[in-house]
Structure 1
Amino acid sequence: MKDKIKAIFFDVDGTLYSHRFHDIPESTKETMIKLKQQGYKIGISTSRCRYETKNLPRFFREFPFDAAFYDGGALVMEKDQMIHKAPIDKNALKKLLQMAEKDQIPLRYSTVEGDHFAYPCDWQIKDNFFKLYLNMPIVKPYEGEDVFNVLAYPKTKEHLEKIYSMHEEVNIVEHGDKTMEITAQHIDKSKGVAIMADRWNLTMDEIACFGDGYNDIEMLKYAGLGIAMGNGKDALKEVADIVCDAIDDDGIYKICRELQFI
């Protein structure tokens, strides 16, 4: 396995970044440095937009990642170069926004430069958002920009069903915490992996991916080696090749040692 894998992609929240401590575990930092020294290409795959990574720890912001997928795979970058973008179809987006405004479903949307709430929303949503990301989108009506990722917060089963009615126009992931993540049709984190594999002339068998959430399922299924965190969702563990220990139990360090990556 050590000689087979050439590139490793990590989800961020719950995989690299612990919300319990609002930091990257020291063992994970050590592992990432050693992986780079061993010559592996290292990337991140996150549903955060670029703006939402600005308050992550200094180690993360300064680490020399080879690639990054933001917005759930809709925006793909190699170092500082944007190499692929897949915004949500604007007709579908306008339909979603009109539905949300009519039914008062809070929406946060992200662009290349930032993230915004489409309409004023409850303080509970703002509070939970800040606890996760340590930043707060401002309220700004949509003005026709390219949008790469939407978070919807349905309040009722009817709201949920209305959003799911758009499943043929957009990609939808339900996170199980009254949050729905919406990207362009057929876009998920696995698409970023495929793009970088082609760019680096790698096969999928040469790529390992780590994750913990529902939006990591397709990525782990697609990777040559899919590793679910011990703190991850059960549905993700079911498709993973390996389940390592939890993020706060040095899971990444232990499995990378076991697989002789470091």
Structure 2
Amino acid sequence: MIKAAFFDIDGTSYQNDIHDSPESTKVAFKKLKELGIKISVCTSRSYPELIKLPKHYYELMDAMVCAGGAQIVVDGKLAVAHKIDSEDTKNVIELFHKYNLDYRWTSVNGENHLSTEKEDVKKIFMHFYNMTPTCKPYQGEELVHLLYYCDDPKIKEEITKCCKNSYHLVIGYANEITAKNISKSHGTVECASLFGIQPDEIVAFGDGNNDIDMLQKATIGIAMGNAKQGVKDAADYVTENIENDGLYKACEHFNWFQE
């Protein structure tokens, strides 16, 4: 029996073009919650980057797994924060500066800043998150998450070599670094455990390459119809696009609303 459901945000439960969830998704959230299922987001966004989410996320979610699994927020309070190895952080950021890579850093204390004032980077954040982190130089803070932009495979290989005690998730142009073994899938299991829920009682929904691990390790992994083929291949079930009520229809497919 499913006791916990985890939802990616962008492209899964939230449409970036309208900065809101489809009405059917809001209904699905409410119905799952009424059934006693714990519902949570699981996102690469850091917690401060959720500030512009519609209010139903804050009203309905039992928890928020953020920063690629490195942060878990329960009742508005940071319950879990996994720190990236300090030496890895130092070496990676030196490479960022060497190659003039733009990045966003998130500290264990919840600070969240961009390394740049470039308009093209700000536009990325505005499109997806409807907000832009402030710009502040990194000055040795302990970090839980790094998001950086790079499309050069050789540079990304060099960064991987620096992540000796950290997890480097190479996705494409936007890539992530978290503490060793910390990922979205780890975050779902750790978050569920806070509610006494076992790993085999988890369902996960996603659409991006950074959701693949989460979908593979959930008891039921559901890919949105708008996901890329590699994400669909990793899922147990592929539903319709987010715009076509895919999240709600997946819940109907598994008869969860009948329980």
Aligned partner of residue 249 in structure 2, secondary structure: helix
**Could you tell me which residue of structure 1 aligns to residue 178 of structure 2?**
183
**Could you tell me which residue of structure 2 aligns to residue 85 of structure 1?**
81
Aligned partner of residue 20 in structure 1, secondary structure: coil
Give 2:164's aligned amino acid. Answer: E
Report the Cα distance in structure 1 between the residues aligned to 2:193 and 2:245, rounded to whole angstroms: 31
After TM superposition, give the deviation of residue 96 of structure 1 in Å. Answer: 1.0
Does 2:101 align with 1:105?
Answer: yes
On the 8 A contact 1:68/1:78 being kept in 2, the answer is yes
Q: Out of 208-217 and 165-174, give the one that drifted further.
A: 165-174
Report the Cα distance in structure 1 between the residues aligned to 2:248 and 2:13, rounded to whole angstroms: 11
On the 8 A contact 1:105/1:159 being kept in 2, the answer is no
**Could you tell me which residue of structure 2 aligns to residue 30 of structure 1?**
27
Give 1:13's aligned amino acid. Answer: D
Report the Cα distance in structure 2 between the residues aligned to 1:169 and 1:106, rounded to whole angstroms: 22
Give 1:231's aligned amino acid. Answer: N
Of 28, 36, 40, 1:39 maps to 36
Report the Cα distance in structure 2 between the residues aligned to 1:155 and 1:257, rounded to whole angstroms: 39
Report the Cα distance in structure 2 between the residues aligned to 1:232 and 1:79, rounded to whole angstroms: 31
Listed as ranges, the matches of 1:5-154 within 5 Å are 5-61=2-58, 63-111=59-107, 112-118=109-115, 120=116, 122-154=118-150
Aligned partner of residue 28 in structure 1, secondary structure: helix
**Could you tell me which residue of structure 1 aligns to residue 194 of structure 2?**
199
Q: Identity of counterpart residues, as a percentage?
A: 36
Deviation sequence 1:162-204 (CA, Å, 0-9, x none): 223234332122332x111111121101112221333333322
On the 8 A contact 1:213/1:233 being kept in 2, the answer is yes
Give 2:127's aligned amino acid. Answer: K
- Stretches of structure 1 that go unaligned for 5 or more consecutive residues are none
On the 8 A contact 2:17/2:127 being kept in 1, the answer is no
Change (3 A) 1:234 1:220: same
TM-score under structure 1 normalisation? Answer: 0.91
* Alignment coverage as a number of residue pairs: 256
**Could you tell me which residue of structure 1 aligns to residue 253 of structure 2?**
258
Change (3 A) 1:134 1:257: same
RMSD between aligned residues: 1.7
Report the Cα distance in structure 2 between the residues aligned to 1:41 and 1:155, rounded to whole angstroms: 37
Give 1:172's aligned amino acid. Answer: H
After TM superposition, give the deviation of residue 60 of structure 1 in Å. Answer: 2.1
On the 8 A contact 2:70/2:183 being kept in 1, the answer is yes
After TM superposition, give the deviation of residue 251 of structure 1 in Å. Answer: 0.3
Give 2:17's aligned amino acid. Answer: R
Listed as ranges, the matches of 1:204-223 within 5 Å are 204-223=199-218
Change (3 A) 1:78 1:183: same
Aligned partner of residue 55 in structure 1, secondary structure: coil
On the 8 A contact 1:106/1:121 being kept in 2, the answer is no
Report the Cα distance in structure 2 between the residues aligned to 1:147 and 1:182, rounded to whole angstroms: 10
Does 2:131 align with 1:169?
Answer: no
Aligned partner of residue 44 in structure 2, secondary structure: coil
On the 8 A contact 2:145/2:178 being kept in 1, the answer is yes
Change (3 A) 1:191 1:155: closer
**Could you tell me which residue of structure 2 aligns to residue 230 of structure 1?**
225
Report the Cα distance in structure 2 between the residues aligned to 1:22 and 1:196, rounded to whole angstroms: 26
